[in-house]
Structure 1
Amino acid sequence: MTNEQLIHIAREYGTPVYIYDADKIAIQYGKLQRAFSACSARFFYACKALTNINVLRYMRALGAGLDCVSINEVKLGLLAGFEPGNILFTPNCVDLEEIVQAKELGVLLNIDNISILEQFGNKFGGSYPVCIRLNPHIMAGGNYKISTGHVDSKFGISIHQIRHIERIVKTFKIHVNGLHMHTGSEIKDVNVFLQGLEVMFEEARHFDRLEFIDLGSGFKVPYQEGEPETDVDTLGKKVCAAFAAFSKEYGRSLEVWFEPGKYLVSESGYLVVKANVIKQTTATVFVGVNSGFNHLIRPMFYDAYHRIENLSNPGGAERIYTVVGHICETDTFAWDRKLNEVREGDLLVFYNAGAYGFEMSSNFNSRLRPAEVMVEKGEARLIRKRDVFEDLLRGQVYEAPQLSATE
């Protein structure tokens, strides 16, 4: 995506605006397909990263499955045209009723709680296959808030509870067709995946009807120039070799499943904003933009880094700025960031804004959420309208003021 394209779209649809490059999504998906071509691999897009139905339909066209963490994501997936057998439901801390709803829709089930596994077995026995999500007790690196496989995580059933799982499975004759783990995002070292895989192979020996092992995701994408990303080619070779060896021991070929979310959409996304004000204090120079953590919460939520560039003045002298939003809270996108000179009215772009950007947006401060635009083969189209004032009242129950006869 060129600067000229971003500027053109921002001028046509206004700012702030989220822009997604569909071709980049296809490139990322293709990388995974090639990397794991030597084994039987399936990829389920973790749609919590970005659920716009147009993105879901594009993922389906690429051949991906869908990983969902709520029943409404499941329904969105079905509406987008995914077959139930290509939707994996991986919730946590939900009650049995939500699991039952997903079962009735015919999707693949992933259970991560001893209590729910027991309730499900008591109700359905072995009539409907389930996958079991395990916690491998592996600290995968990255921000602690997005690590999910360590001992203090709420996700998955501890591998140390395998005997309890076996008793429940045996008692209710539950058909376990898969095992799942996910250690979190930002995994730079492919050996973390292999370490987790060894744990999963060990646990797989306790089940004789497995069809797949799901390694979740966590593929790292670069946020800063020169930053490494997960070497999926090396990972693919090692994982495929490990699966081939274990399948011989296990007595049947097992599929390897992954649930990439951020890896597929992060680099496709751009958030373009306008510089409202340049505010110089005794300590720093602030660029105040017409957005905030109500549109992109990642920097404030878990110190995420997003590269920022000045689209309007790319040749300007470099200066040091702190980029902030217009929300009435501490609302900092970047401290002491080197940018080409920013003038009031300039357009700035945040890179890597495709994952958990719009998806985690809100109407905090009664601000309106931005439009979303998708660009496919050079053609831009609106895929979500910008909020209008009436959207703030949608769902609220109130009495409209009555006009008097004299008004």
Structure 2
Amino acid sequence: MYYYDIQGIKLTDLAARFGTPLYVYDADKIIEKISVLRQSFDGINLKIKYACKANTNISILKLMHKHGVEIDVVSPQELELALKAGYKGEQVTFTPSGVSFDEIETAIEAGAKINLDNLDVLEKFGQKYGNSIGCLIRIKPHVFGGGNEKIMTAHPESKFGISIHQKEEILAVVEKYNIKVIGLHQHTGSDVKNADSFTQAASAILDLAFSFKDLEIIDLGGGFKVAYKEGDVVTDMEEVGKVLGGAFLDFCEKYGKPLQLWFEPGKFLVSESGTFLSTANVVKKDPVKTFVGINSGLNHLIRPMMYAAYHDIFNASNADNSVQDSYRVVGYICETDTFSFDTEGKPNERLMNKVEAGDIIAMKNAGAYGFTMSSNYNARFKPAEVMVYEGKAHLIRKRETMEDILRNQVEIEL
């Protein structure tokens, strides 16, 4: 189902007003996804921690904050953005991977909760802080889950977390420094379709949890699958809520006290809110296929090229489907930057309403890992961002200029 407007504002009008390429976010969709997650775990002491690496625009962060969603960050810079968006230190969780210890110290100074993912850092934490502050430990439960190998994070060869098979080593460090472990964390991966992977990982974490006496939190990460096209398989949130919620409550009863259940959704909360708008520069008829070349490329939306990710693509300038053709949608970067991949991860053609040069080409599911992974490759400017909030379109990031490209360059005399 193609949507040619957001909250009653036509995509073509947004493109005309703000120019292209352009990221547009529907605030109502984000609020809806927050509600879905809460309803799925009704009756559970649930805390949602937005994995902000998905989209760090400060207006998105402020929207999350306004609706009671806390935040998970992976860098000091994301931490600073969170604080600027109105979060207090204790509402922030710092979940880094392989960072220097000074970044952890910075987060602790800001009052953030710390999630430690290797034994070396756990040792350093114990040496400096002992049991003066609490921490979470990220566990790798050796579970395969997620859409593909690039977005699986809990399998045996993943860099993330401390292997659950190193339980005795973890406990030895904790005992040595009397570390106060307030939470256990795991993240299976992205695009998990059903409760099975979550259940496997949760079972392993909950079994391990009985070895820690001061727990307050069980954090099961995120990774809920969203719809990339009509009829797509998505995570059954009602099933996940029922199965995991029941297992969690049963654990709390056996553990002897109520704990908080945390999730860290990123894509789930923002992906479907985003539409990426570009303009067709050329329609290039070739003996083999017809290309639509747009005024964007992998510098603005790298997911198709990096992950072979599927994005529904349609002609926002032409709602008449009586005349359609197959098009391969490609970018203007001096690389092979194809946007139209099939669900098997191969470049393909899309059946679209007739496209002419100047038409607005829209890509759905662009709210997560779009702008945040953009670059200035080929010295191209990063696009503008707009949020539609309460029926009005708000510019939330200006389009870059040549001044931005040159700002931090230092020209020397030769």
Q: Which amino acid aligns with 1:398?
A: E
The within-5 A match list for 1:26-175 is 26-175=31-180
Residue 322 of structure 1 is matched in structure 2 by 328
Q: Which amino acid aligns with 2:330?
A: V
Deviation at 1:2, TM superposition (A): 3.8
Residue 356 of structure 1 is matched in structure 2 by 369
Deviations 1:197-244 (A, max 9, x none): 110111101111100100000100010210021111221122221111
The within-5 A match list for 1:131-280 is 131-280=136-285
- How does the TM-score come out when normalised to structure 2? 0.95
Residue 405 of structure 1 is matched in structure 2 by none
| 1:38 and 1:237 in contact (8 A); partners too | no
Looking at structure 2, the residues matched to 58 and 2 of structure 1 have their Cα atoms a distance apart, in angstroms, of 24
Deviations 1:139-197 (A, max 9, x none): 10311101101111000000000100000000001000000000110000112111111
Q: Out of 100-109 and 308-317, give the one that drifted further.
A: 308-317
- How does the TM-score come out when normalised to structure 1? 0.97
- 1:23 partnered with 2:28: yes
| 1:125 and 1:172 in contact (8 A); partners too | yes
CA shift in 2, pair 1:400/1:272, >3 Å: farther
Looking at structure 1, the residues matched to 203 and 229 of structure 2 have their Cα atoms a distance apart, in angstroms, of 32
Looking at structure 2, the residues matched to 120 and 261 of structure 1 have their Cα atoms a distance apart, in angstroms, of 27
Deviations 1:291-314 (A, max 9, x none): 001000000001000000101112
Looking at structure 1, the residues matched to 131 and 92 of structure 2 have their Cα atoms a distance apart, in angstroms, of 20
| 1:215 and 1:258 in contact (8 A); partners too | yes
- Give identity over the alignment, percent: 49
Deviations 1:28-63 (A, max 9, x none): 000011111111010000000000001100100010
Q: Which amino acid aligns with 2:391?
A: G
Corresponding residue SS for 2:349: strand
| 1:44 and 1:65 in contact (8 A); partners too | yes
Looking at structure 1, the residues matched to 326 and 25 of structure 2 have their Cα atoms a distance apart, in angstroms, of 28
Tell me how large the CA RMSD over aligned residues is. Answer: 1.1
| 1:149 and 1:183 in contact (8 A); partners too | yes
Corresponding residue SS for 1:333: coil
Looking at structure 2, the residues matched to 196 and 15 of structure 1 have their Cα atoms a distance apart, in angstroms, of 43
Residue 388 of structure 2 is matched in structure 1 by 375
Corresponding residue SS for 1:101: helix
Q: Out of 246-255 and 156-165, give the one that drifted further.
A: 246-255
Looking at structure 1, the residues matched to 170 and 58 of structure 2 have their Cα atoms a distance apart, in angstroms, of 37
Deviation at 1:246, TM superposition (A): 1.1
Deviation at 1:284, TM superposition (A): 1.1
Paired residues, number: 401
Q: Which amino acid aligns with 2:140?
A: N
Corresponding residue SS for 1:122: helix
Q: Which amino acid aligns with 1:247?
A: C
Structure 1 unaligned spans of 5+: 402-407
The within-5 A match list for 1:1-20 is 2-3=4-5, 5-20=10-25
Looking at structure 1, the residues matched to 408 and 215 of structure 2 have their Cα atoms a distance apart, in angstroms, of 45
Structure 2 unaligned spans of 5+: 341-347
Looking at structure 1, the residues matched to 206 and 383 of structure 2 have their Cα atoms a distance apart, in angstroms, of 45
Deviation at 1:400, TM superposition (A): 8.3
Looking at structure 2, the residues matched to 35 and 400 of structure 1 have their Cα atoms a distance apart, in angstroms, of 62
Looking at structure 2, the residues matched to 313 and 2 of structure 1 have their Cα atoms a distance apart, in angstroms, of 9
Residue 337 of structure 2 is matched in structure 1 by 331
| 1:294 and 1:363 in contact (8 A); partners too | yes
Q: Which amino acid aligns with 1:83?
A: K
Deviation at 1:329, TM superposition (A): 0.4
Deviation at 1:283, TM superposition (A): 1.5
